[in-house]
Structure 1
Amino acid sequence: MASSLPLTLRVYRTLSAAAVPLTPVLFKRRLRQGKEDPARINERRGVTGDVRPHGPLVWIHGASVGEVLAAAALIEKLRALNLRILLTSGTVTSAEIAAKRFAADVIHQYVPYDSPRYVARFLDHWQPSLALFIESDLWPNMIVAGAARRLPMVLINGRMSHRSFPRWRRFSGTIEALLARFEVCLAQSDTDAERFAALGSRNVVTTGNLKLDVQAPPADNARLERLMAVTRGRPVIVAASTHPGEEEILAEVHRELAGYFPQLLTVIVPRHPSRGEAIARLIAASSLHASLRSHEDLPTATSDIYVADTMGELGLFYRLAPVVFMGGSLVEHGGQNPIEAIKLGAAIVHGPHVFNFTDVYDALDAAGGAKQAGTPQALVKQIGQWLADPVARQASVDAAGHVVDQLGGALERTLSALEPYLLQLRLEMGAANA
C-alpha cells in the first residue's frame, strides 16, 4: 500500500506516526483553549468505552457544526432504514449540537487525530460498513487506512472552494491519491464537480447542496415566548454567526439605525460563543449597552445589543427577528448558510464575501431573495428600508423561499446515488437476521 502512495503522503504518514509522543502536549494546549472535552479526550486516540452496535454501521464524518447539521436529514433517512449511525466530528461545539439534535441511538465520537496508530484503533473498534465524508474534510491516514480495509468510502455534499482548488492543484499527485480512493464523489454544484474531476476524482456526480434541504432549526417554545414578551413592540434585527471584525461594524450600524428606530434591539449571535465576553466589552467601549445571554440575562428596555453567546439557539432568534444579517461576509471568511433563516421567514442581508455559498447567494440576490450590502452605510440603508417597509421585506422573503424550493432536492439525489451501497447493507441485515 505504502509504495503506491506519492512521496508527500509517505512523508506525511511517517511524520504523523513519529509525532504521536508529542500529542499529550497538543492535548494539554487544546484543553486549556477549550477546544477539547476532557472527559472524552481518549476518543482522539481512537479509544472509546462505547460498544459497537450489532449489524451494518454507517459512519458519517463532518468537520464541525455546519457539516453535522447538513447531514441531519440524511441521518434521519438512514435511521428510517434501520441502519445504525456513527457520527464523527472534530469540535466541541459540533459534539454539543449532535447531542441536542440527534436521537440517542446516533453514536457521536470525536474523530481521532490523524496518526496511523489512532486511526487503526478507531477502525478496529468500529469496523464501519460504509463511510460518508462530508464536504472536504480529508484526513490522509484515515482515507488510506479505510481504502486498505476495503471500506466503501463516498464523499457527500462535496465542496472544493475557490481558495482550496488552486492550492490542491499545486499538489495534484497528493490530492489525486486521496480522491481516487473514494468510490464516488457527490458534489454540491457543477463547479465543484469540475474541480473534483480536475483533481483526480474518477466518479463525480452533481447532487446539490444538502444544506438547502435542512429543516428549520428548533426552538424551545417557553424561551421564545419569554423573548417575545420582553421585546414586544421593539424592532429587532439579528446578526447571525458573526466573526471577528464584524461586531465593531454592527455596533456602528446599530447606532445609526437607532436614530431612525429608537427602540431598536440588535441581537448578535457569534459563530464562536466563547467570544461573547469580548464582544460585550467591545460594545461597552462603543458606549452602547449590551446584555449577555450566557449570563442568563434577558434584553431589557436599556439593552441596545443582546449578545446571544450560547449554542443551538439560532432557531429562537430567527423566529424573533424579521431581518437577519448573515455573518462571515463582511470579512473574508466566505459567508454562512442563509437557508435556515429563510425557512423561518427572515429577510436576508449579507456582505460581499460569500464565496463559501456562491451559487446560493447568486441565485438569491438575482431573485431579490437576499440583498448584498458591502459597506456600513449600505447595511443601514437596506436594514432600515426593510424595517420601515414590511411589504418590501415580505416580497424578498417570498422570493427567497421560491429560490430555496428550486435549488432543493439534494437529499433525494444523494440517497439515490447511495442506493447501491444501502441495498448491500440491507442485504447484509437480512442475512444476519435469517
Structure 2
Amino acid sequence: MASSSLGSLGLWLELRRKRGGRLHNLRLPPGDGPLLILRATPEARIAAGQVLEVLTHAVPALRVLTLGDGGMPDVSDDPTAAPQLLAEAQAQTILLLGDELPVALIHAAQEAGTPVILGQSMIREKRAWGLDRTVQARLLAVPDVICVTDAASREAALGLGIAADRVRMTGPVTEIREPLPGFEAERAILAKMMRGRHVWLATAVPSAEEEAVFQAHLAALRHSHRALLIINPADPAQANDMADRFEAGGLVVARRSADEEPTDEVQVQFADDPQELGLWYRLAPLCFMGGTLSGDDDAARHPFEPAALGAAIIHGPNSARHQTEWQQLSGASASRQVRDADELANAVTQLSQPQQVATLAANAWAVSTGGAGVALDIARPVAERLKRVPA
C-alpha cells in the first residue's frame, strides 16, 4: 500500500510540474475506421514505419494520428492537452514506440480506459527507491502489452512488479538492409586459401587506430602463428603508407590493389576497396568496426553490414554514429565492446575459435535480419484491440 501511495504521489508531482495548454482546431484523419494514436521517439522511427505497414494491411480502414507529425503537436507530456485529445479523438488504441514513458498521455489513457501498447522498449530499472522508480513502475503498469527489445529489459520490468504475461520479449525492430554483394566465385577461392586460419577483419580503420590494430594482430599471432588480419583503411589513399608501416613492424603484407593474395606466409591482407567489403565480411568470422575506438568515425561502417553476413563484431566505446543499432546489438548480446587497445588485443585473441564467435555471430544476424518479424509481433496486439471496434 505504501509503495502504491508513493507511486500516486510521484505521478501527481510529475504531472503538476508540467505546463499544459489546450488543443485548438484538432483535425482527425478522415474516415470512419478505428483510430490509432501513435507516438514514437526519434530512435524508433524505423520501427514506426514497419509496424504501421503491418497494421495498414491488417486493418484496412485504419486511421492513424501521429503525435508530432503532419501538423499534430506532440501533446504526450501535456497534462491539459493529452486528456483533451483522448476525449475528442475517441481513439481505440494508443501505440507508444521507444524508451520514453510520456507521463500525461499514459495517465490520460488510464483515466479514459484507452488501451496502450508499448513497443520497441528498452527498460532499465532505476535502483534507487524513490519517486523516479515508483513513477516508472506506475506508468509501466498501464499498458496492456509491453514489447521489450532484450532480456535485460524483461527482467527490469518484472523487477518493477509488472506481470510476466504482459511483458513480451520481441527483440528490436531493425532497419532492413540488403547484404553487400559478395563475388561468390572469388570468395570460394579465398576461403580455400584461408582454411584453418584465425581470420579477422578490421574495417574503416582510421590512422588514430592503426597502432591498436597492429598490436592486436601481434597478440593474435602470439596465440595462433597463422592468424590473418584483413584490414580496410578508412582512407583508401592511405592504404599503401599504412601497409608500409605494418611491413616496417615486421609483418608480411599483401596488397589487394597490387593483386597480391593472402597466401600462407602472409600475415596482413590490405583491402582498400570499400566495394569489396561484402567479400571480406563473408570470409572473416570476426570483425572490428573501425572508428569506434578513437571516435574518428567519419568513415565508420554500419554495424548491420557484418552482422547480416554472419560475422561476430568487436567495437569500441564511441557509438554515436549508429547509436540505436549498437544499443540493439548490445542488448541482444550480439557484440563485444572494448574500451581501449589492450582490450581489443584481448578480444581478438579470445575470439579465435569458431565456437567462441558462433553465439555472437548468430545473435548479431538475428538482430540485423529480424525487423519484419518483430514488427509483426508488436503490431499483433495493436490490431487485436483495433478490431474489437467495428469500422
Greater relative CO (CA pairs within 8 A, separation 6+): 2
TM-score for the superposition, normalised by structure 1: 0.44
Q: Which has the larger radius of gyration?
A: 2
TM-score for the superposition, normalised by structure 2: 0.49
More helix by share: 1
